[in-house]
Structures are given as C-alpha cells and as structure tokens.
C-alpha cells in the first residue's frame, strides 16, 4: 500500500513511522528498499489487500490522480473490502496491471469494482509492443470518428490474454513512437480494447493519453481520436483513408 493513516492523515511510507491500515486498522510498517517503491506492509499472516507489488509504472499512474482518489476502500456487494487503485468521485475505478493476472482474478476484480477500466502495462515483456503493432497491420476500420479498428488477436499474446475481459482495457505502451509503427499519432495514445462477444478479434480505439486523464479528472466523456489529431496521413494506406461516402463535410 502507498498510504497508511497516521493521526487521521494519509501518509506515504517513511522510515521510522508506524501507520494504521485504513482497511483492517492493523499497524503497518514502512518498507523503503532500493528495489521496490516505498510502501506499507502488513505483519506476516495478514492479508495485504494488494494483488501485486507496486512498480514505478503503477505508482506513476496512481500519482496522476488526486491523493484522495488513490487506494480507495471499495466495499463489494458481499461486504468484502478491497482497495481500488484509483476511484474517482463519480465511482469510476481504474486498476493498473503490470504483472500477469489469472482469468479468475481478472473476472473477480471486474465483479467487485463494477464500473472500472483496466490500464495494462504493454511494455512488461520485450515482444508485447511489437506483436500488438504487428496485429495493427491487419486492422480494418470500423468507425472513422472516433477512429476504431478491428484487428485479429491470434498473434498478439497481450490481446489474447485480455480478450475475455468484460471491461475496457487500455494498453499503455509508454511514450514510445517507432517510425515502423503501422499507425502513428502526433501525441502519445493509450489503446482501448472494447469487450466483444466473440473471440479472435479485438475492437481497438486509440485515445490520447492527455484526453484519457482529462476525462477521468474532469468527469467528461472519454473521446477518441478525431478532428484535432488525425493519423499521420502519409502512413495511412489508401484503403483505410476516409472514402467520400464517409467523409464529414
């Protein structure tokens, strides 16, 4: 956990402090090693409320949101308490996932949180980004505005692993921009994968990173790419350019 309570204040782990877990109200101690980011840990034998150790990537995402929205105690219908990585005042939950996750865990968290998005670290494995972009070479345009593609999932392990999710999954490939990418934008995007009833294909929609954060923090609709940022035209093959039929006047 990033936060524990000390004198009714939310505090980050620091050497010498002893905090209280906001969920089970047990004493927690700081762990400030060189390998993992500083965090609070529960005494042995006590459940840590976290599914995975936090990475820098995880922490960076959480810290893009107000402190009060981070690690929010979420009470499931069953009465069980869980920590949501981020929960906005409108109830929207974000879960950031770096490590591999089992199907059971994934669907259990989707049940618990209800209104949630996944943000998945697309740079964990060396080939994940390459395979994802390779799949994009076989894209078909479903909508021009907002730009939406359907791609085959067969060759991308990342897409296959998440294709059963019932929630929108945003793949985060960082700020990398490779000249060989089949689709490129002028600013960093997250790739939203939308739940589909059948396997084998993923519905993908690029969302500007800045717009994603805006939508979460300002409680505004999540808008896709259109108007202000278009795909770099030279790199868009002729067959996927807007036909006259689809062009907006």
Binding residues for Zn ion, rule: CB under 5 A, are 21, 23-24
Smaller CB separation from Zn ion, 1 or 120: 1
Smaller CB separation from Zn ion, 3 or 61: 3
Q: Where are the beta strands (DSSP E) in 135-243?
A: 140-144, 147-152, 168-172, 189-194, 201-208
- Decide if 100 contacts 50 (C-beta within 8 A): no
Q: Assign residue 30 a region (left: φ > 0; alpha: ψ between -120 and 50; beta: otherwise).
A: beta
Q: How far is the CB of 82 from Zn ion (least distance, A)?
A: 11
Smaller CB separation from Zn ion, 5 or 107: 5
Smaller CB separation from Zn ion, 23 or 38: 23
Q: How far is the CB of 3 from Zn ion (least distance, A)?
A: 11
Q: Are strands 93-97 and 116-121 parallel, antiparallel or unpaired?
A: parallel
Smaller CB separation from Zn ion, 10 or 184: 10
DSSP code of residue 236: S
Q: How far is the CB of 163 from Zn ion (least distance, A)?
A: 33
Strand partners, 97: 120
Burial of 22-47, coded b for 16+ CB within 10 Å and e otherwise, reads bbeeeebebeeeeeebebbbbeeeee
Smaller CB separation from Zn ion, 2 or 148: 2
d(CA 235, CA 185): 10
Q: How far is the CB of 117 from Zn ion (least distance, A)?
A: 25
List % helix, strand, coil for the chain (3-state, nearest 5).
20, 30, 50
Phi/psi of residue 89, each to 5°? Answer: -60, -25
Phi/psi of residue 19, each to 5°? Answer: -115, 180
Q: How far is the CB of 54 from Zn ion (least distance, A)?
A: 15
Q: How far is the CB of 26 from Zn ion (least distance, A)?
A: 5
Q: Give the nearest residue (CB) to Zn ion.
A: 21
């Amino acid at each position: 956990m990033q936060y524990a309570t000390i004198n009714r204040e939310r505090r980050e782990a620091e050497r010498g402090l002893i905090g209280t877990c906001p969920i089970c109200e047990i004493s927690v101690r700081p762990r400030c090693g060189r390998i993992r980011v500083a965090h609070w840990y529960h005494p042995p034998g006590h459940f840590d409320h976290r599914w995975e150790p936090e990475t820098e990537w995880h922490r960076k995402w959480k810290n893009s949101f107000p402190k009060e929205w981070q690690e929010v105690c979420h009470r499931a219908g069953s009465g069980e308490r869980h920590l949501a990585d981020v929960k906005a005042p409108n109830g929207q939950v974000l879960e950031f996932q770096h490590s591999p996750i089992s199907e059971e865990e994934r669907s259990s968290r989707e049940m618990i949180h209800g209104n949630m998005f996944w943000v998945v670290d697309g740079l964990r494995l060396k080939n994940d980004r390459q395979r994802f972009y390779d799949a994009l070479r076989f894209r078909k345009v479903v909508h021009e505005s907002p730009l939406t593609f359907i791609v085959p999932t067969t060759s991308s392990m990342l897409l296959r692993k998440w294709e059963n999710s019932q929630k929108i999954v945003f793949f985060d490939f960082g700020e990398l921009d490779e000249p060989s990418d089949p689709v490129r934008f002028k600013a960093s995007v997250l790739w939203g994968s939308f739940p589909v009833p059948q396997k084998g294909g993923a519905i993908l929609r690029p969302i500007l990173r800045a717009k994603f954060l805006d939508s979460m923090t300002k409680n505004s609709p999540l808008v896709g790419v259109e108007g202000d940022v278009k795909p770099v035209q030279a790199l868009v093959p002729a067959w996927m350019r807007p036909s006259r039929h689809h062009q907006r006047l």
